[in-house]
Amino acid sequence: MPDQPEPPVLALDGPSGTGKGTVGRLLAGRLGWHYLDSGAVYRVFAYLADKDGILPEEEGKLTDFSRNLEIRFDPDPAVPGVYGNGADLTQVIRTERCGELASRYAAVPSVRTALLALQRGQQRPPGLVADGRDMGSTVFPAARIKIYLDASASVRAERRYKQLKEKGFDVSLARLRQDMAERDRRDASRAASPLAMPADAVRIDTSDLTIAEVVERVMHLVSRQLEDGAATR
Ligand code: DC
């Protein structure tokens, strides 16, 4: 029997505030594919490890901790539900503090290795939209389509500010700018799978684009890629 082709992956990478999450969910809905919010995986890990009093420096304890960690998502990409060890953590992981913690634990190489299988396990038919920092470089290096979303630092901070305000979080724009710059610096400078644009990715600057425009651009690239793929098979 011929090998089944691997379900296609759309890797969507970039720093925070580029609209990745919203764009990724909309794309998954349009394509009828699954959606992986890898940032939420790191956020759940960080939230629970921190709650258990394990520090990012305690690699041995983190490895044991990751063996017993179960993370589950709502199957509908339009629903952002995420559960860690059975508890609904959808809301509590969305704070800036949790994003900051996630960035710290995510810099630990053994944590990244421990979370690889869980992320790769999401590649199921008919396809997967995978959103994160290292989807195209490390987790799904053979992804059929690789997109890198970017935007200017000030636009990203303003978007994030609006998003957090809408969710009812009390934040200052100046502080947020500072924290985001620090988090970006850490995510891009760590030794293990840093945030970087893969050589074979298409970069889209979303600074002056609406969410709908970004979705249309990516959909255009996806349909071209899928047609090319079908033609060469
Ligand atoms: O996308 P986000 O803000 O939810 O991600 C939170 C942190 O998790 C981010 O600052 C770095 C880390 N992360 C990562 O290291 N690799 C990923 N693929 C996704 C997120």
The model's pLDDT over 46-88, given as tens digits with 9 standing for 90+, comes to 999 999 999 999 999 999 999 899 999 998 888 889 999 999 9
pLDDT for 7-41, tens place per residue? 999 999 999 889 999 999 999 999 999 999 999 99
Give the mean pLDDT of the chain: 93
Please give the share of the chain, as a percent, with pLDDT higher than 90. Answer: 83
| Strand 9-13 relative to strand 145-150, pairing | parallel
Res 230: pLDDT: 62
Q: pTM value?
A: 0.93
Rounded distance, CA 25 to CA 36, Å? 9
Q: What is the pLDDT of residue 1?
A: 56
Whether 106 is in the pocket of ligand 1, judged by its Cβ within 6 Å, is yes
Q: Is the CB of 136 under 6 A from ligand 1?
A: no
- Residue 136 — pLDDT band, cuts 50, 70, 90? very high
Q: How far is the CA of 150 from the centre of ligand 1 (A)?
A: 15
Which residue puts its alpha carbon closest to atom 15 of ligand 1? 106
Q: Which residues contact 159 (CB under 8 A, 6 or more apart)?
A: 17, 19, 151
Give the pLDDT score at 129. Answer: 98
SS3 state at 149: strand
- The candidate with the shortest Cα–Cα distance to 219, out of 9, 27, 6, is 27
The pLDDT of residue 2 is: 62
| Confidence (pLDDT) at 208 | 96
179 lines ligand 1 (CB under 6 A): no
- Rounded Cα gap, residues 215 and 220, in angstroms: 9
Of all protein residues, the one whose alpha carbon is nearest to atom 11 of ligand 1 is 103
Query: Looking at residues 168-173, what average pLDDT do you find?
Result: 88
39 lines ligand 1 (CB under 6 A): yes
Q: What pLDDT sits at residue 92?
A: 95
- Domains of the chain by start residue, with CATH: 9-232 (3.40.50.300)
pLDDT at res. 231: 57
Mean pLDDT across the stretch 146-166? 93
Q: Helix H segments across the chain?
A: 20-31, 38-51, 59-67, 96-105, 109-114, 116-120, 153-166, 173-189, 211-232
103 within ligand 1 shell (Cβ under 6 A): yes
Nearest CA among 159, 161, 163, 185 for reference residue 173 = 161
User: How many angstroms separate the alpha carbon of residue 6 from the centre of ligand 1?
Assistant: 25
**Ligand 1 midpoint to CA 37 (Å):** 9
What is the structure's pLDDT at 222? 94
